Amino acid sequence: MLDITKISIICYLFYALGETGMIFNFYQKWIERFPQWLYKPLGGCYKCLTGQVLTHYYWITHLHDYNVIDQLFYPSMGILIVTILNYLYEKIETN
């Protein structure tokens, strides 16, 4: 669970730092050229990016003890975490 939380925070910050004027804005501008089905999981959408990264993380770390429920849980929990992070970020930003 700790790995899921860490990866979710990293993915969200990578997305948030892609805003105009931030350090990863060059990357956001670069991937905007791609079709939506590729743009979103590469960083155009924080939920898509997190789900994609955690899906691949699960496959890499559980090659010998695969469990379909866990494989679905990793990206689902990550998306829940980044949704909460985004909600908190928006609340802080508006105050």
Q: Does 95 score more than 80 pLDDT? A: no
Taking residues 80-91, what's their average pLDDT?
94
Instruction: Report pTM.
Output: 0.88
Q: How confident is the model at residue 78 (pLDDT cuts 50, 70, 90)?
A: very high
* Cβ-count burial 4-42 (b if 16+ within 10 Å, e if not): beebbeebbebbeebeeeeebeeebeeeeeeeeeebbbe
In angstroms, the CA 92 to CA 95 distance is 5
Q: Does 83 score more than 80 pLDDT? A: yes
Domain spans in the chain, listed from the N-terminal domain onward: 2-94
Give residue for tokens 């990357």: 27
Give residue for tokens 């890499």: 60
Structure confidence at residue 81 (pLDDT): 97
